[in-house]
Amino acid sequence: MRPEIRRFHTFPLTVMKLYKRNIAVLLACTVFAILAPSCQNAARPITAAKRNENATRPFTHTNFINSPDYRFTRDMWSNDDRLAAANGKNSRVDILVGVQRGRLYVNDEIALDFPACTGKAGHETPLGSFRIQEKDRDHHSSSYGYVVDHKDDTVNADATPSSKIPPGGRYIPASMPYWMRINGPVGLHEGAVYRDSNSHGCVRIPVEACKILFNKLTVGSRVNVLP
C-alpha cells in the first residue's frame, strides 16, 4: 500500500508544481501582452524615418500647384535663392484671375506664388500686360474708403468721397500700403485677401508677399493680369 500512497501523494504534488509553473507562465504572457504594444509603438523608427525623408525632399512648385487645396489655400510657395536674385529688371509678376493667385518670376523662373484678390463683378481688374507706373509705401485711395460717426464707429464700410456723412462723422480714405500702380486707379497693394474676386478692381495681396514685391520691383517692372 505504501507505493500506492506515495503515488497518491506524489501525483498532487506534481500537479501543484505544474500548476504553479503554468500560473507563472500565464502571468508572464499576460504581462508581455500588455506591454508589447506600447513597447512596439515606442520603437517604430520606420514611420519616423519616412516622415524625415519626406520632410527633406524638396517641395517643388509643381507639388504645390497640384495640391487639391491650391485654388483655396492662403499658403505661399517661395524659392529663397531666386528671391535673393530678384530685381526690377529681371522680375515680373503674373496675376492669375481664374485661380486668384499671383506669381513672381525671376529670370523666367518661379520665385514666389501667393494668394491674390482681384476685382469683383462690376469692378473687374482689367486684363492685359502693364508696367508699374508708381510706388507709394503709404498710399490711400482717392476713390474708396469708409465713413465713421462721431464715436468713430464705422457706419459705411464701402463708402466713396460722395457718401453721406452723419453729423460729427467723417470720411476716411482706404489705406493701400505698398501701392504699385499699373493702370489708372488700379494697382497692386496690401489688403484683405479673400479666396474669390472681392476688390474694387485693384489686386490685393497679403502683406508678407506684398512687401517682397514692393522691395524687389521698380517703376517699369512688368505686371501681367491673365484670365
What would the pLDDT profile of 82-118 be if each residue is shown by its tens digit?
A: 999 999 999 999 999 999 999 999 999 999 999 999 9
pTM value is 0.71
Please report the pLDDT score of residue 105 as a whole number: 98
* CA-wise closest residue to 102 among 188, 180, 176, 175: 188
With a CB cutoff of 8 Å and minimum separation 6, the contacts of 13 are none
Distance (Å, whole) CA 184 – CA 178:
16
pLDDT, position 59: 85
Q: What percent of the chain clears pLDDT 90, i.e. is strictly above it?
A: 74
Q: How far is it, in rounded angstroms, from Cα 127 to Cα 130?
A: 9
Of 6-15, 38-47, 92-101, which one has max mean pLDDT? 92-101
Q: What pLDDT is attached to residue 51?
A: 24
Grid coordinates standing for 207? Answer: 502683406
Would you say how long the chain is, in residues? 227
The model's pLDDT over 24-34, given as tens digits with 9 standing for 90+, comes to 555 554 544 44
Which residue do the cell numbers 463708402 mark?
159
CA–chain centroid gap for 107, Å, is 25
Judge whether residue 3 has pLDDT over 50: no
What confidence tens digit (pLDDT) does each residue in 155-199 have?
Answer: 999 999 999 999 999 999 999 999 999 999 999 999 999 999 999
| Stronger pLDDT, 44 or 174, i.e. the higher one | 174
Q: What is the pLDDT of residue 169?
A: 96
In the chain, where are the structural domains located? 2-54, 61-226
Q: Is the pLDDT of residue 202 over 60?
A: yes
Give the C-alpha separation, 112 to 76, whole Å. 7
61-226, superfamily in CATH? L,D-transpeptidase catalytic domain-like (2.40.440.10)
pLDDT value, residue 49: 26
Would you name the residues annotated as active-site residues?
Answer: 189, 202
